[in-house]
Homo-oligomer: A and B are copies of this chain.
Amino acid sequence: MDNFNFYAPTYFAFGRESEKKTGRLVRRFGGSKVLVHYGGGSVKRNGVLDAVLNSLKEEGLEYVELGGVKPNPRSGLVYEGIELCRREGIDFILAVGGGSAIDSAKAIAAGAVYEGDFWDFYSKDMSVRNALPVGTVLTIAAAGSEGSPDTVITHEDGMLKRGASGEALRPRFSVLNPEFTCTLDAYQTACGVTDIMAHVCERYFTNTKNVETTDRLCEAVLKAVITEAPKIIHNLTDYEARANLMWAGMVAHNNIVGVGREQDWSSHGIEHELSALYDVAHGAGLAVIFPAWMTYVMHHDVNRFAQFAVRVWDCDMNFANPELTALEGIKRFKEFLRGIGMPTNFRELRAEEKDIPRMVETLGVTEERRIGRFVPLGPKDIENIYRLAL
């Protein structure tokens, strides 16, 4: 196990009616004038936004609204938000929505107190040390951004999709009411499920030895998701399954299951090119990329993939030929994704073979600057993985 630091000081208010605590939580964590940041019309239509604004009013908090966050959130709105924060003297940013609203809120929070261009944090591997405090009211179990220090933004100049991170970006509080996720359709839900599983898998496939405790925790989250997700696809308003998925989504990404081990994260990078280019949901892109990545790198550590197959997918271990067990695990993962309605290849995603060279190029990987820690991948590897996903 590697040395590590772990610090996850987010206050979680979980359950029915937890949104009523929003105003009190903003106050507790030092906010007095709030930027309420959200996406399109869904939080308006389903009453979530009204409930949150009422809670702010009851606490006597001033607020300014900034809606319009899109999936794969864009830099344009971030610049607008930063400007708004400065003009209005905002001291707290409240995201209401999914990972996109939260990631956009984090970008605004970092940019509002930074003299340069906020994109520096995304393009220059600079850790975010100062930011306005952020709180979230989550409406989709997926990104885990509600408990993480991470954010991903797409810059409209070149459609570059890049991530930034920093402890200052970890939300002060997150309100998780599973009821809010009950209005999501099956496709949106399945995209979230895939994202959650991908967050675990990016941590699970590691070269660090002797990580049984976090291995088991990773497997636990995956097993829970495998049990709960189909229940939701079958009955979209299954509160209990939604609640289990929502907590699993947080645990998958606040890093309690990933400490002390080298993590991979190449699939996220490879996927970002897909979602940036075709504007498809991140989860759908991951469903296409992850099994292809697994197939491509499997031989680097067959036994780890066999462990994944046996412990997560209940495969029988083939002791004579562990490779067959490993392959069976990947097959069951892919079947599971198909079963919840995810695309698992370029065709189903409406991505095109002809764009592969362009995506490889935009990703910026070279022989010297590879991505991924489990198996560091060069441009030819990335191309092969895209082709395996055709």
Determine whether the beta carbon of B240 is less than 8 Å from that of A209: yes
A195 → chain B, closest Cβ, in Å?
A: 16
Within 8 A of B (CB), among A1-25: 1-18
**Residues of B with C-beta under 8 A to A3:** 14-18
Pick the interface stretch among A243-251, A301-309, A324-332. Answer: A243-251
Determine whether the beta carbon of A243 is less than 8 Å from that of B16: no
A217 at the binding interface (Cβ < 8 Å)? yes
A385 at the binding interface (Cβ < 8 Å)? no
Determine whether the beta carbon of B210 is less than 8 Å from that of A241: yes
Residue of B with least CB distance to A216: B220
In the bound complex, what is the Cα–Cα distance between A389 and B5 (angstroms)? 42
Known contacts A240-B209, A251-B217, A259-B247; decide if A14 and B5 are in contact (CB<8 Å).
yes
**Residues of B with C-beta under 8 A to A248:** 213
Excluding A2-B15, A217-B221, A247-B260, 20 further A-B contacts by CB distance (< 8 Å) are A1-B15, A1-B240, A3-B15, A5-B12, A6-B12, A7-B9, A7-B11, A9-B11, A14-B260, A210-B241, A212-B224, A212-B227, A213-B221, A213-B247, A213-B248, A213-B251, A215-B224, A216-B224, A217-B224, A243-B260
Query: Can you pick out 30 interface pairs between chain A and chain B where the beta carbons lie within 8 Å of each other?
Result: A1-B15, A1-B178, A1-B240, A1-B243, A1-B247, A2-B15, A3-B14, A4-B14, A5-B12, A6-B11, A6-B14, A7-B9, A7-B11, A7-B12, A9-B9, A9-B11, A210-B243, A210-B244, A211-B244, A212-B244, A213-B220, A213-B224, A213-B247, A215-B224, A216-B221, A217-B220, A219-B220, A243-B260, A251-B256, A256-B256
Q: A-side interface residues toward B, CB under 8 Å?
A: 1-18, 178, 209-217, 219-221, 223-224, 227-228, 240-241, 243-245, 247-248, 251, 256, 259-260
